Amino acid sequence: MRLACQWVMLRVRRYWLGRNPLRRRSDRLEAAGVVITLVLLLFSVWPAVVVGRSVYDRGLQAERAGPGIRQSVTATLVRDAPYGLPAGGGEDGAEPGSHAPARWSAPSGERKTGEVAVPAGTRAGTSVKVWIDGHGELTTPPTSHAETLTGAVVVVFLVVVGAAATLSLAFRAFRWFLDRGRYAAWDASWAEACARWRRHKPDG
């Protein structure tokens, strides 16, 4: 914690826009670049929140379940599920998965048929739970609110991190440009100092 505070204080002193007569124009430009970078980073939070809110709203839609929206019904297999993997099961000893045709009733009463995921080798006539939409077609199960909230937070975080990375690269490029000017000025100053030294050097 102490080292972090020292690092922050060093950066504040380095970029503080004071009236130090030793500060060059490039130093003041670099300090202004730091301020602009921080301001833009703060402004990036707003679009990140907007994007996160959009993801959150879509997640709320995916959570909705009920008649006419998304509901769980019982389907009946009309054919045995084939064995998708060799005997011995899947990973970690789990029973291998497969797909088989099943039949269920839509909310309108219409009979529907489709491929559903079941354990390999499941016999025809077995009842399985499936999720259907308002038209009776197979759909994905609703997501939990925790998944919705986590997805929105992750999106906000990624947008802010992406903005921070972009601004950091832009500032580094700006500082590199300023450093080139500083190096050129230092070379010119050294050359001028060397010339003065030679002119005032006593003859030996």
- Dihedral of CA atoms 62, 63, 65, 69 in degrees, nearest 10, equals -20
Q: What average pLDDT is seen over the chain?
A: 79
CB 70 within 8 A of CB 142: yes
Q: Which two tokens stand for residue 198?
A: 């030679």
Which residues, 6 or more positions from 112, have their beta carbon under 8 angstroms from its beta carbon? 103, 104, 105, 106, 132, 136, 137
Total-model pTM: 0.60
**19-72: pLDDT as tens digits:** 555 466 666 777 788 888 889 999 999 999 999 999 999 888 888 877 778 889
Q: What is the mean pLDDT of residues 84-101?
A: 57
Q: What angle do CA 152, 153, 157 make, to 5 degrees?
A: 120
Distance CA 139, CA 92 (A): 28
Distance CA 14, CA 30 (A): 10
For 33, the 3-state DSSP assignment is: helix
